[in-house]
Amino acid sequence: MFWVRLRSGIILVIAALLTILPGGYVLWATALCVSLIGQGELYRAAGVLQGRPNALAVTGFLAGAGYYVLLLFSQDTYAVIYLVFALTALLAVYVFTFPKFRAEQVMAAFFGIVYVSVLLSYIYQTRNLPDGKFAVWLIFLCSWGCDTCAYCVGVLIGKHKMSPVLSPKKSIEGAVGGVIGAALLGAIYALAVGRYLQTERAVPIFALICAMGALISMVGDLAASAIKRNHEIKDYGTLIPGHGGILDRFDSVIFTAPVIYFLASIWMHV
């Protein structure tokens, strides 16, 4: 299993390089596809999508894709207005096909749009920032870096359970190690690319951003685990051998991406 996970991880890194480095439409299309696959995984887990496509799921997919089209013209300026219309469309399906769908399915469909498509889109939006070609990598450094460092520290010295019921293998010591490890990775990354940035304080800024992102990434990881527990599934999918589905691998990235976007937007104006 270790070698399967390692091979899949290497492929993911290569895919990230091939799409994030060029950015633009390449990254936009990749993020869109990943988001729709992730939405599908969540819809199947939550019972929105069962077997053949239905009107509620299709509306959710179209709304998720539509959000990406919106980003091509206005970034997220009209995001709130768009999401209001997306919710209205889902409710229209709900009432005009009543009683085919339950209220909780409608809520899950809307949640999928925001939780997967909107939040993951911040990878693309971060890449579009002035220093985005450097800032976007902080998303993965603080999420996957925190995960790796937390695992290593937890195995070595972890004793106190962070969430005994939800994730009994995660420890407080591991969480602290994950945050510190992510901050160190951010500082090292800043030393490597600092001369290309518009700020002279890249090391402390990147370290702080990665530390804050790491804290949020753990919430994202546990939230995804909680959803799986509620719906009694082990993995969201089987797309990535050794890892599961898109949501199993990007569970922490989903929460980290918007945080890094906003923090990076702030430091670029400091």
Q: Residue 3: pLDDT band by 50, 70, 90 thresholds?
A: low
Report the pLDDT value the prediction gives residue 67, as an integer from 0 to 100. 96
- Whole-structure pTM value: 0.91
- 14/66: higher pLDDT: 66
Report the pLDDT value the prediction gives residue 26, as an integer from 0 to 100. 95
- What's the whole-number mean pLDDT along residues 191-208? 83
Residue 111 has a CB neighbour count (10 Å cut-off) of 18
Report the pLDDT value the prediction gives residue 118, as an integer from 0 to 100. 95
- What's the whole-number mean pLDDT along residues 104-114? 96
- What's the whole-number mean pLDDT along residues 241-257? 84
pLDDT above 90 as % of the chain: 49
Q: Residue 1: pLDDT band by 50, 70, 90 thresholds?
A: low
pLDDT tens-digit readout, 134-154: 999 999 988 888 888 888 888
Report the pLDDT value the prediction gives residue 265, as an integer from 0 to 100. 87
pLDDT above 70 as % of the chain: 95
Q: Residue 4: pLDDT band by 50, 70, 90 thresholds?
A: low
Q: Residue 28: pLDDT band by 50, 70, 90 thresholds?
A: very high
Burial of 132 (0-12, 13-18, 19+ CB in 10 A): buried
What are the φ and ψ backbone dihedral angles of 231, each rounded to 5 degrees? -105, 10
Report the pLDDT value the prediction gives residue 157, as an integer from 0 to 100. 84
